[in-house]
Amino acid sequence: MKTAVDKMQNEVDLIGDGSQIHSLPTIQGRHKDLKSVSSHTVSQLLAGKYDDVISGYQIIDCRYPYEYEGGHIEGAQNLHKEALITDLVANLQARDSIQRNILVFHREFSSERGPKLLRHLRNLDRKMNSDRYPFLFYPEVYLLDGGYKAFYEQHQIQCQPRNYVAMLHQDYSKQLRHFRVKSKSWTAGEKQSMRSRRLIIDTSPLKMPLW
């Protein structure tokens, strides 16, 4: 454990558990605390360029369902609220050994909610594994720079369907209002749920870095 922690403090390009360097080339995004990747890199990921260095990957689309259904990166999973991200981590809680697949988060522009949900995953992952730091279920996570909009503009052929529905599209104003109202109730409920989880999960007095 001490060796891994020392490595993480001295080397900036290590993944979250300090075991190895990042598999994908990163770029300087607007969120300096997160590791960002370009649309070109994600396109290559989908095409299999990194199959020899990773065991698998998952694209996490954090947009609202109507945006996702209107067009998304091929194979992406639509997880648009914290409860769904919590389930993603909690489902692995009982496993001692798993293949470490990489995750790539994005929203329409990856400017706010995508980064927020990515940080939620890492924070919860740390808490669930606080007794065996720096182990993580998902040690290698990225943010797609520019979000779905940037990817669609450059790699439309890798989208299903080949379309782009903006969050503020006038034809979906009713759905937008629905999810915005829902998100307020989700947030309130999730905060209460997280407070309850902390009584169970947060057993360590140490304050550990997320990354």
Residue 94 has pLDDT above 90, yes or no: no
Q: Distance between CA atoms of 32 and 205, rounded to whole angstroms?
A: 27
**For residue 197, what are its two tokens?**
């989880």
Supply the pLDDT for residue 202: 42
**For residue 108, what are its two tokens?**
């329409």
Band of pLDDT at residue 185, cut at 50, 70 and 90: low
Q: 10 Å Cβ neighbour count for 32? A: 7
Q: Distance between CA atoms of 47 and 52, rounded to whole angstroms?
A: 12
What is the rounded average pLDDT of the residues 23-41?
96
What is the rounded average pLDDT of the residues 94-100?
61
Q: 10 Å Cβ neighbour count for 124? A: 22
What is the rounded average pLDDT of the residues 35-41?
98
Q: What is the pLDDT of residues 133-152, one digit of tens each?
A: 999 999 999 999 999 999 99
With CA atoms as reference, report the closest residue to 17 among 126, 136, 118, 124: 136
Supply the pLDDT for residue 183: 74
- Do the Cβ atoms of 60 and 117 come closer than 8 Å? yes
Which amino acid, residue 50?
Y
Supply the pLDDT for residue 192: 53
Band of pLDDT at residue 180, cut at 50, 70 and 90: confident
Domains of the chain plus CATH, in order, are: 12-197 (3.40.250.10)
Q: Which residues contact 49 (CB under 8 A, 6 or more apart)?
A: none
Q: What is the pLDDT of residues 98-115, one digit of tens each?
A: 577 899 999 999 999 999
Q: Distance between CA atoms of 27 and 15, rounded to whole angstroms?
A: 15
